[in-house]
Chains A and B, each alone.
Chain A
């Protein structure tokens, strides 16, 4: 036996040695350089290939440069999108810049599997990854190993991007790593839609029936219209009426589902219910209040709210399936025969067959008169959208090229589709892009998804005012939020932005956060579906939060990171 084991260990070592020697595990090996472009240094690029970056509407390289220099960019793509090499916007960009980029497209699922292998294969990496989806921790680790390029060292070649950073210190500090450098280019699409993930929709006909039947005190039939603000008491009466009567007239009194949502979903979730008690809850239970990182679960109002909601669950006012259903189930049950009395979602069109039958309500007013909304931490700035490998030759050219993506007109085309396919060649009198009539048999979405690569862009107020119109549905939602959500957010409350952590902070978070989140989740669902939380259970919960689940350590890290963010901003 011993001898056998010895032999096997010897074999293993042989195997390790063989692999090592066969080149399977070479250390970072600098590529031999771009053979087609024997130049080095910006001066040579300028003199030989006419490299210029200051004029953002002129070509970046001359024709000789277009021949000699080329880049390979690896990118995942939406299934319905064309190959990026065949996309008009990419061809237009080549025509405008003379920078030759070859796109290497894979599907999104394959990219997620191959990402590690791309990084792992030091010998044969592309020049950049688009739609890279890099997490903050990955960025730090690869940056420490000099695998990815510190883009901020090259900002002079990126006039558009530099301008954005100068105008928006908040963006700058969100994308800057702890060492003060920027390693990845962001996607910024600021429409103000993501902060509020829920709107409350109420079945108009059912509500009127309930009012007519005298079931709801203090509400008249005329009140049942968009913007209706119900107290928790009125809502309870309303939902009880839905529960007890055959509202949809199918002869069954037990198939009505008074209030519905998708528990802990990124939108259409339960968080707004906590607003009745003045809490600006979200899925992480973490929100900034007057510059302080706050956890809603540490607030005694949270207990009161949980008990209140649990009571509605027990009474059958909240459909129990809300706690277990997936988004698909929720959407499917909205179709056909009307079942939903009220529901949380970000819009009603996709949920129910007849959206006109539903009105949008203002947030519910709680027993103590509180009326506020959920503030979610979904950022409108994605930080890790594009990375460039450190060893890429002539990287200045590539950066000058990607800088063009941040030009408002290009950003709009990257996001919605190119001029000539989606937009008319001529802008309107205000200089805004004008939608072309749709070709026959194609929906606007199909056209967009085929022709727009999405990815790194900057679309903000400036662009919405001067360059491109928001899509209709986005505009509709924005209008609704302006009326029924934003006014109910207290002045000092903001979402937690993208924060930069040190590697050490990151390690601490990685040690504690999963267990902490789980502990809260496990308890919360127990309370909400199990009739509530007792005084003792709440005390134990608070002790555990501060004790074995290290909430305060986690909170401190967020606070430190937020303070740094606020200081640079």
Chain B
């Protein structure tokens, strides 16, 4: 139905039968796209009216979303958030954690996939790949549990540190240790898993290109840079744009589990703040939705910037 609508629009825009013929020629693509459109429409678009909750005074479950009990309050909830004493610290903490995480975490799977691809033993490469996927399957509670055991006051790291003549450090109570622990553990968990898509892309590199490069006298390293990397560049651009677009979308669970009084100054993120407010006082769901929506808007802006930049400097863009 939506497809028909879009096509109709296209028809009205074009003139003459030439465009119509082109549409007919390409209609198989619309058919192929159709199931995905239906799924997204049903499960993503239909519930989207829930964003309206952000403009309620104080939504509680059971209220009509389209017809708020306390009336519409416009941008009041957003205003309240901007005026919150915690607003700037929250923005700063969220942004810094995400941007550092991105800078460290984005290149890692790419480098690893290139390195795996350039490994001489085919068997070794396969085994390494399997190993690297392992951490992806570890649940959050276990990951945090291990961090506590390894980095606790009497943990492995401190034991080693002390035996080397150092002082024990309370990593969990230090602001400066929070971001490194959070980011490195996240990357540790997912670099192998994220590398899979690049490895798949690398497997479709034309061997002829490598052979030609070898004849030209290129070293293995040069071939990584001039043959392999360009081959996965489109995928890299895609991931880059999408990651930047999702930059601020960090969930509360992990940061919340790692939070202590000692690191609260940097570990309090927008998402954890909303969550903790909900535990301590009853949540105002409208307020929480407004904060979520605000976060999404920042992400959209970032996405648009990333896409425009990417379009300018390479030919890769989402739209």
Residues of chain A at the chain B interface (Cβ within 8 Å): 7, 11-12, 15-16, 18-20, 24-28, 116-122, 135-138, 141-142, 145, 147, 263-264, 320-321, 323-326, 329, 506-507, 509-511, 513-515, 517-518, 521-522, 524-526, 529, 548-549
Contact = CB atoms under 8 A, between A and B. Distances in A.
Interface residues of B, number: 45
Interface stretch (B222-230, B241-249, B257-265): B257-265
Contact of A120 (B2, B45, B47, B62): B62
B172 A324 contact: yes
B173 A515 contact: no
Nearest to A141: B60
Contact of B264 (A121, A510, A518): A518
B67 interface: yes
Interface in B60-102: 60-67, 69, 80, 84-86
B282 interface: yes
Contacts of A513: 280-281
21 contacts: A7-B9, A12-B48, A15-B41, A15-B48, A15-B49, A19-B49, A24-B46, A25-B65, A116-B61, A118-B61, A135-B282, A145-B60, A323-B173, A324-B153, A324-B262, A329-B148, A506-B282, A507-B284, A515-B86, A517-B280, A524-B261
Contacts of B45: 11-12, 15
A16 B152 contact: no
Given A324-B260, A518-B268, 14 more contacts: A11-B2, A27-B64, A28-B64, A137-B282, A141-B58, A321-B153, A323-B170, A323-B261, A324-B152, A510-B277, A510-B282, A521-B264, A525-B173, A549-B85
Contacts of B152: 321, 324-325, 329
Nearest to B41: A15
Interface in B242-293: 260-262, 264-265, 268, 273, 276-277, 280-282, 284
B34 interface: no
B153 A25 contact: no
Contacts of A15: 41, 45-46, 48-49
Interface centre among B46, B61, B152, by most chain A C-beta atoms within 10 angstroms, is B61
A511 B287 CA distance: 11
Contact of A525 (B58, B66, B262, B282): B262
B150 interface: no
Nearest to A28: B62
Interface of B: 2, 6, 9, 41, 45-49, 52, 58, 60-67, 69, 80, 84-86, 148, 152-154, 168, 170, 172-173, 260-262, 264-265, 268, 273, 276-277, 280-282, 284
Contacts of A122: 62
Contacts of B265: 522
- Please provide the 3 A-B residue pairs with the shortest distance between their CB atoms, ordered closest to farther: A137-B282, A120-B61, A510-B281
Nearest to B51: A12
Contacts of A323: 170, 173, 261-262
Contacts of B168: 320
Nearest to B65: A25
Contacts of B260: 324, 525
B106 to A, nearest CB: 28
A121 B154 CA distance: 49
B173 A324 contact: yes
Nearest to B171: A324
Nearest to A517: B280
A24 B66 CA distance: 11
Given A20-B66, A145-B69, A514-B273, A521 B281 contact: no
A514 B282 contact: no
Contacts of B62: 28, 119-122, 142, 145, 147
Contacts of A549: 85
Given A15-B48, A18-B46, A326 B60 contact: no
Contacts of B47: 19
Nearest to B284: A510
Given A11-B2, A12-B48, A145-B69, A264 B261 contact: yes
Nearest to B285: A116
A263 B67 CA distance: 47
Given A142-B60, A145-B69, A529-B173, A19 B282 contact: no
Contacts of B282: 135-138, 141, 506, 510
B66 to A, nearest CB: 6
A522 B66 contact: no
A552 to B, nearest CB: 15
Contacts of B65: 25
A248 to B, nearest CB: 15
Nearest to A15: B45
Contacts of A120: 61-62
Contacts of B60: 119, 138, 141-142, 145
A141 B286 CA distance: 13
Contacts of A324: 152-153, 170, 172-173, 260, 262
Nearest to B6: A7
A132 B172 CA distance: 35
Contacts of A321: 152-154
Contacts of B63: 145
A137 to B, nearest CB: 3
A126 to B, nearest CB: 13
A30 to B, nearest CB: 13
A521 B261 contact: yes
A510 B45 CA distance: 32
A515 B49 CA distance: 31
Nearest to A549: B85
A543 to B, nearest CB: 14
A290 to B, nearest CB: 28
A26 to B, nearest CB: 8
Interface centre among A26, A121, A135, by most chain B C-beta atoms within 10 angstroms, is A135
A514 B281 contact: yes
B15 to A, nearest CB: 16
Contacts of A137: 281-282
B146 to A, nearest CB: 13
B44 to A, nearest CB: 9
A14 to B, nearest CB: 8
Contacts of B262: 323-324, 525-526, 529
B290 to A, nearest CB: 14
B149 to A, nearest CB: 9
B257 to A, nearest CB: 11
Nearest to A529: B173
A7 B262 CA distance: 50
A103 B172 CA distance: 44
A28 B85 CA distance: 37
A323 B276 CA distance: 20
A95 B110 CA distance: 69
